């Protein structure tokens, strides 16, 4: 698979490499666009009911065990309550005789209700499923646990409990139960998919990708599972996986051509890869299919902002917020639309609203940090926001890269190098992280490390003359003239320079070499 590795802003190749220029943005575009992958809509499969056997041997796959209507009462309209005739006692009847008669009547012992039998496994499962249907996750989980106390090896009961825990947002416990199902039924597509959904919510996107792929291998082939896999791939944040996500969104659309969320996801992924000519029709289609979808309008607004159609972009972004006023994703995208128009104060307000609406989401902190760093020259506040974002999403290569730039702006070069290195480790194909790391090493005088970093950059992007020039500069600073001339020649070739001259050497007053 060929991976696009475009660079939005490139490094200076002077000794003060990169520190006075816009950070390498690579696939990220302007700040706030995709600096952290976005939470797209996860498709949830229909709830699964536990198959069980009734005493007659008939298999039941729907909730049973609801209270049966009472047995026919003898006092009904067909059999009206008999009336008791009024009796008048004669005056001469003596009370003692009445007492004597009553004493001769034998006493009747009170009737005791029989002790109800303990609920069976089937009863408890029925109770759990009925609670599921009512949305009572607490009752459902309790009933499933009671059922498992009777049959600990019931994969179906573990699966029902896992689903109920997922609905209750107890994702860690849900993962434990899904994995228990997989111990009992290794090929359970439902358990793999459920585990993937829960891991996605826990922000363990790499593990979620593996479980979605296992679910597909086990037989899950619907549009929803491909959409969810694409979302998880995109949210890993790596260059390679963002490219892969595009293909799976397309598969989801092939399987469900009316899936608006998959069109929105596709449009967002294409926009990140700067494929705007394809992103726009996908976003327009999402809005056509779901005119009241905040997600669809939000993504379309961002695509239009990238295309500089700000009038429509504002309309779409504001429409998304109108449809979902407290949706953090809609606020984030509105902030990005404002940022593209240099409306930085409005962007900051939108990002702060997103943080208010979803305090556990890293992306708004990252976007706010980008605005402080790149637009408002407030690097200390940027460091605070990026640091908070990393606490919430510790495996985001993008956020580490951005934090590195904030440290560089404060001339805290050791801190910057550490962040760029971490970013390059999390996403080895990320050109920006490697290039920025090389620039910082050069600034620190760590020439061998800088040469290694820029060598890796030229391997990742072998058609960019700027990086070969940077590598030539580093080699020349090291006194390695042969290596530096080779790097400069390659840069000339990529620029289309037909002579054997070295432009960099000319600028330094060195004599031009002729072939």
What's the average model confidence in pLDDT over 444-472? 95
Average model confidence (pLDDT) across the chain: 81
Per the model's pLDDT, the better-predicted residue between 425 and 504 turns out to be 425
Query: What does the pLDDT average to over 480-495?
Result: 94
* Statement: residue 231 has pLDDT above 80: yes
Lowest mean pLDDT among 110-114, 145-149, 217-221: 110-114
Q: For residues 7 and 279, which has the higher predicted lDDT (pLDDT)?
A: 279
Position of tokens 């090929």?
187
Quick one: pLDDT at residue 107? Answer: 57
Residue 86 binned pLDDT confidence (cut-offs 50, 70, 90): very low
Is the pLDDT at 123 greater than 80, yes or no?
yes
What pLDDT is attached to residue 426? 94
Q: How confident is the model at residue 116 (pLDDT cuts 50, 70, 90)?
A: confident
To which H or E segment does residue 512 belong?
A: none
State the pLDDT confidence band at 117, using cuts at 50, 70 and 90. Answer: confident
- Tokens representing 415 are 């801190």
Between 172 and 514, where is the model more confident?
A: 172
Mean local confidence (pLDDT), 491-497 = 89
Would you say 164 and 132 are in contact if contact means Cβ atoms under 8 Å apart?
Answer: yes
State the Cα–Cα distance between residues 469 and 321, nearest whole angstrom. 46
Q: What is the pLDDT of residues 125-157, one digit of tens each?
A: 999 999 999 999 999 999 999 999 999 999 999
Residues with Cβ within 8 Å of 264's Cβ and at least 6 positions away in sequence, in order, are 40, 41, 282, 283, 286, 293, 295, 296, 299
pLDDT-derived band of residue 394, with 50, 70 and 90 as boundaries? Answer: very high
Domain ranges within the chain, ordered by starting residue: 26-30+395-507, 120-221
Q: Say what percent of the chain tops pLDDT 90.
A: 72
Tell me the pLDDT band of 113, cut-offs 50, 70 and 90: low
Are residues 442 and 15 in contact, defined by beta-carbon separation less than 8 angstroms?
yes
pLDDT tens sequence across 261-319: 999 999 999 999 999 999 999 999 999 999 999 999 999 999 999 999 999 999 999 99
pLDDT in tens, 21-53: 333 322 222 223 233 334 445 555 555 444 433
327: left (phi over 0), alpha (psi -120 to 50) or beta: beta
pLDDT for 66: 28
Residues with Cβ < 8 Å from 129, sequence gap 6 or more? 49, 50, 63, 140, 160
* Three-state SS sequence of 372-399: HHHHCCCHHHHHHHHHHHHHHCCCCHHH
- For the segment 239-252, the average pLDDT, to the nearest whole number, is 95
For tokens 């919510």, name the residue.
201
**Model-level pTM?**
0.73
Span 120-221: which CATH code? 1.25.40.10
Over residues 51-72, the pLDDT tens digits come to 433 333 323 333 322 233 333 3
Instruction: Tell me how far apart the alpha carbons of residues 420 and 208 are, in angstroms, rounded to a whole number.
Output: 26
pLDDT for the residue numbered 42: 58
Helices 121-134 & 155-167 angle (0-180, nearest 10): 20
| Token representation of residue 377 | 């020259």
Query: How high is the pLDDT of residue 302?
Result: 96
Superfamily, domain 26-30+395-507 = Tetratricopeptide repeat domain (1.25.40.10)
Q: Label residue 508 by pLDDT band (50, 70, 90).
A: very low
Q: Which two tokens stand for residue 263?
A: 């069109």
Beta carbons of 406 and 386 less than 8 angstroms apart = yes
Task: Find out whether 206 and 393 touch, Cβ atoms under 8 Å.
Answer: no
Q: How far apart are the first and last CA of the chain?
A: 38
- Tell me: pLDDT of 158 over 50: yes
* Residue recorded with tokens 């979902």: 324
Is 120-221 the same fold as 26-30+395-507? Answer: yes
- Give the tens place of pLDDT for each residue, 319-369: 999 999 999 999 999 999 999 999 999 999 999 999 999 999 999 999 999
């Amino acid at each position: 698979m060929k991976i696009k590795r475009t660079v939005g802003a490139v490094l200076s190749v002077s000794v003060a490499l990169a520190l006075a220029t816009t950070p390498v943005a690579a696939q990220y575009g302007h700040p706030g666009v995709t600096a952290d992958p976005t939470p797209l809509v996860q498709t949830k499969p229909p709830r699964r009911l536990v198959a069980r056997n009734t005493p007659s041997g008939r298999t039941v796959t729907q909730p049973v065990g609801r209270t049966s209507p009472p047995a026919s009462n003898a006092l009904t309209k067909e059999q009206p309550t008999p009336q008791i005739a009024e009796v008048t006692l004669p005056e001469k009847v003596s009370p003692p005789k009445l007492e004597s008669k009553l004493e001769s009547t034998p006493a009747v012992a009170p009737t005791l209700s029989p002790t109800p039998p303990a609920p069976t496994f089937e009863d408890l499962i029925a109770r759990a499923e009925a609670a599921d249907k009512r949305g009572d996750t607490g009752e459902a989980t309790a009933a499933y646990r009671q059922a498992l106390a009777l049959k600990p090896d019931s994969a179906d009961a573990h699966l029902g409990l896992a689903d109920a825990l997922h609905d209750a947002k107890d994702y860690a416990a849900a993962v434990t139960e899904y994995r228990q199902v997989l111990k009992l039924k290794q090929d359970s597509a439902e358990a793999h998919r459920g585990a993937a959904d829960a891991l996605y919510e826990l922000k363990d996107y790499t593990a979620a990708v593996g479980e979605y792929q296992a679910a597909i291998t086990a037989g899950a082939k619907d549009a929803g599972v491909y959409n969810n896999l694409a979302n998880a791939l995109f949210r890993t944040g790596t260059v390679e996986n963002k490219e892969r996500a595009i293909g799976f969104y397309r598969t989801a659309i092939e399987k469900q051509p009316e899936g608006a969320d998959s069109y929105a996801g596709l449009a967002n992924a294409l926009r990140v890869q700067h494929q705007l000519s394809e992103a726009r029709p996908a976003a327009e289609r999402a809005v056509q299919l779901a005119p009241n979808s905040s997600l669809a309008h939000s993504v379309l607004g961002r695509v239009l902002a990238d295309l500089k159609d700000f009038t429509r972009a504002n309309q779409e972004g504001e429409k998304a917020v109108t449809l979902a006023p407290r949706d953090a994703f809609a606020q984030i995208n509105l902030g990005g639309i404002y940022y593209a128009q240099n409306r930085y104060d409005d962007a900051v307000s939108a990002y702060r609203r997103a943080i208010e609406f979803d305090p556990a989401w890293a992306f708004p902190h990252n976007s706010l940090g980008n605005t402080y760093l790149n637009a408002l020259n407030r690097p200390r506040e940027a460091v605070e926001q990026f640091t908070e974002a990393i606490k919430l999403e510790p495996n985001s290569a993008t956020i580490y890269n951005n934090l590195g730039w904030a440290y560089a702006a404060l001339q805290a070069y050791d801190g910057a190098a550490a962040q760029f290195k971490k970013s390059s480790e999390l996403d080895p194909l990320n050109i920006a992280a490697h290039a920025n790391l090389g620039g910082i090493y050069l600034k620190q005088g760590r020439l061998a490390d800088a040469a290694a970093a820029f060598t890796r950059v030229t391997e990742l992007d072998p058609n960019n003359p700027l990086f070969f020039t940077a590598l030539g500069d580093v080699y020349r600073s090291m006194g390695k003239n042969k290596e530096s001339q080779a790097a400069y020649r390659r840069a000339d070739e990529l620029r289309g320079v037909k002579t054997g001259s070295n432009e960099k050497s000319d600028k330094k007053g060195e004599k031009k070499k002729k072939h």
